[in-house]
């Protein structure tokens, strides 16, 4: 049976549309017209302890509506999840967060936030596969919570940076003080940032991209 609409084209109000594009007058980027100019897609992992701000970071910087797997916390988590530093926290990530950020015409970052609780660590191997590097978030009120992430990325050889998410009620420390407390090697960037502020997050991601290029220039 002949189709009333061609497989290759359709029309809206008499204006032909090229298959794959929704709007006839859409302002297309160069790589959308020529797939050989498609930007480099890179994967970045955001890790750290429970309630340190991973979901907040991905949400603040993503140019698309982020994919979140947040679930309400229940009494079943009592005695397992420490809410001392985050008493108002009502939800937790049970799989991952996902967002996207275009840094330039030729560079797109895909962000994958890991779940923080130990019972979800089995997912990390899948989430980091293909990543160029990781951001390890830290909270100075509970620095020990980021040690598992630091140990993990050290053991698998994935480039990473340490970003201290400064909370309003926490004491502000210098990056070198945090480096010393966590015994972070001198070549690994350590910075203070605010996961709620887009520009602060972008600066952290740029630092990671630069560090990953230095570590694996090929």
DSSP structure string for 166-213? --TTSPP--HHHHHHHHT--TTS-EEEE-TT-HHHHHHHHHHHHHHHH
In a domain, 25, yes or no: no
Read off the CATH number of the domain in which 162 is found: 3.40.50.300
**Residue 130 or 76, more confident:** 130
In a domain, 14, yes or no: no
* DSSP annotation of 97: E
Specify the number of domains making up the chain: 1
Cα–Cα distances (Å) from 91 to 135, 176, 187, in that order, read: 22, 32, 35
In a domain, 3, yes or no: no
What share of the chain has pLDDT > 90, as a percent?
48
15 has a pLDDT exceeding 80: no
In a domain, 27, yes or no: no
In a domain, 11, yes or no: no
In a domain, 35, yes or no: no
In a domain, 1, yes or no: no
80 has a pLDDT exceeding 60: no
Question: Could you tell me if 16 and 104 are in contact, meaning their C-beta atoms sit under 8 angstroms apart?
Answer: no
At 50 the pLDDT is 83
The first and second tokens of residue 80, run together, are 């397992």
Cα–Cα distances (Å) from 207 to 20, 55, 102, in that order, read: 35, 19, 15
In a domain, 28, yes or no: no
Domain that holds residue 157: 40-215
Cα–Cα distances (Å) from 205 to 18, 63, 66, 199, 208, in that order, read: 36, 14, 17, 10, 5
């Amino acid at each position: 049976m002949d189709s009333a609409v061609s497989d290759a084209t359709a029309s809206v109000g008499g204006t032909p549309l090229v298959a794959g594009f929704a709007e006839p007058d859409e302002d297309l980027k160069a790589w959308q017209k020529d797939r050989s100019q498609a930007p480099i897609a890179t994967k970045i992992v955001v890790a750290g302890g429970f309630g340190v701000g991973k979901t907040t970071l991905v949400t603040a910087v993503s140019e698309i509506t982020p994919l979140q797997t947040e679930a309400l916390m229940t009494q079943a988590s009592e005695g397992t999840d420490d809410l001392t530093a985050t008493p108002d926290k009502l939800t937790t990530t049970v799989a991952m967060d996902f967002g996207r950020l275009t840094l330039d015409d030729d560079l797109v970052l895909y962000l994958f936030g890991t779940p923080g609780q130990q019972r979800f660590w089995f997912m990390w191997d899948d989430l980091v596969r293909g990543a160029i590097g990781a951001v390890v978030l830290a909270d100075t009120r509970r620095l020990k919570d980021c040690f598992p992430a630091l140990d993990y990325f050290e053991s698998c050889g994935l480039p990473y940076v340490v970003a201290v998410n400064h909370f309003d009620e926490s004491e502000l420390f210098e990056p070198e003080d945090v480096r010393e407390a966590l015994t972070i090697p001198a070549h690994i960037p350590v910075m203070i940032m605010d996961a709620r502020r887009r520009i602060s997050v972008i600066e952290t991601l740029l630092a990671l991209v630069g560090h990953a290029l230095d570590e694996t220039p090929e």
